[in-house]
Structure formats: structure tokens, C-alpha cells
Amino acid sequence: MMSSKEYKMRKPKIHPVHGTILVGVSFRERWNVVEFATKDELELYVNNFQHIKKAKREGFDKSWWERREQIINERTQNIYLRKLWRTRHSQSFEYDTLYRVEKNFQRWSTKLGPTTGEGLATSYHFDRSRDIHLAKDDILVLTKKDEMGNLYFAKIHEINAKHPFVFNRDNALLGWISPIKS
């Protein structure tokens, strides 16, 4: 079994492909998700981040609402970009690949699918005994993708489980599910 240090992802100081300086920029996403950004998107995000940071530092003489108005466009764009990158990341999941869960998922964040068909609901609707959960180092396999882009996973040792684990295509938890390198 691998230790957490062996597959831990870190943001580089300079983007390895685009050459953009990333020091001091918080993406609020895992690096494996940010890797799906184009050069223009990355530069827009960094510029927006720097504008927000500057506005927060210099806006002490303004009211709360004036400070918020000053940065709302940039915050909205950055939220959109993060969601776009998560969606692209979700499209990278493939069948016949093993995936590792890199952190414990809280029960209220976990969604399950019905026994047959598509859809998702909170795990409480299907499992009141709290037996179904995803924990760090669980091994998953992608079993299905539906028309809405939802991803259905099963634990490798519970491949015939009654309910699959389901993630929306823009779910931030997908950043914590990584392919196992062979």
C-alpha cells in the first residue's frame, strides 16, 4: 500500500506547460484539476486573483458592499473557471482504470445511485445504517457515465454492490479520486 506522500499532488511554482508564475495564487482546487486550464484561462484566473487580493488589502475605507461590488465580477469569473476545470477533469475518467480515493469523504457529501437506472440521491435515502461510505485508499472503478455527465463508481471489492457511488460532472470531490499508475 502506498503512503500518502507517494501520490500527493503539489502546485508547482511555475506552470510546467504554460510558464505562468503561480507563486501566491490559491486555486482552491487540487492541482490535478487545475491542470485542465488553458493558458488564457490560467492567466485570467491569476489576474482576477491578484485584483481581488489587492482590492481586499486597500478597501478598508469603503463599506462592505462597496468592497464586494469591486470584486464580484472577478470572483464570479474565477468560480466559473474552477467549475469548467472540474467538468473537464470529470471527462478524463475512463473505463477499465483503477482509481484511488485520496481522502475520507463525509457521508453527507456522498451520493448514491439507484439499483437500476440513472440518478443520484444522498446516501441517507438508500442507507440508513451508514454502512456505505468512501474512505481513504479505497479502490474504485468507473462503471457508467450517464447522459448528464454523472459518473458512477463501484468499489473494486464490492463490484456487485446494490448502489453505485455517483458524482456530478463538476463535483469538487472528483479531484480527490486519482488513477492508479501502473
Question: Which residues of the chain are under the pLDDT cut of 70?
Answer: 1-8, 128-130
| CA within 13 Å, CB half, 8 | 5
Give the tens place of pLDDT for each residue, 45-96. 999 999 999 998 887 788 888 888 999 999 999 999 999 999 999 999 999 9
Q: What pLDDT is recorded for position 159?
A: 84
Question: Are 25 and 48 in contact, with CB atoms under 8 Å apart?
Answer: no
Looking at the DSSP assignment, which residues form a beta bridge with residue 100?
139, 178
Q: List the grid coordinates of 6.
A: 507517494
Q: What pLDDT is recorded for position 67?
A: 85
State pTM to two decimals: 0.86
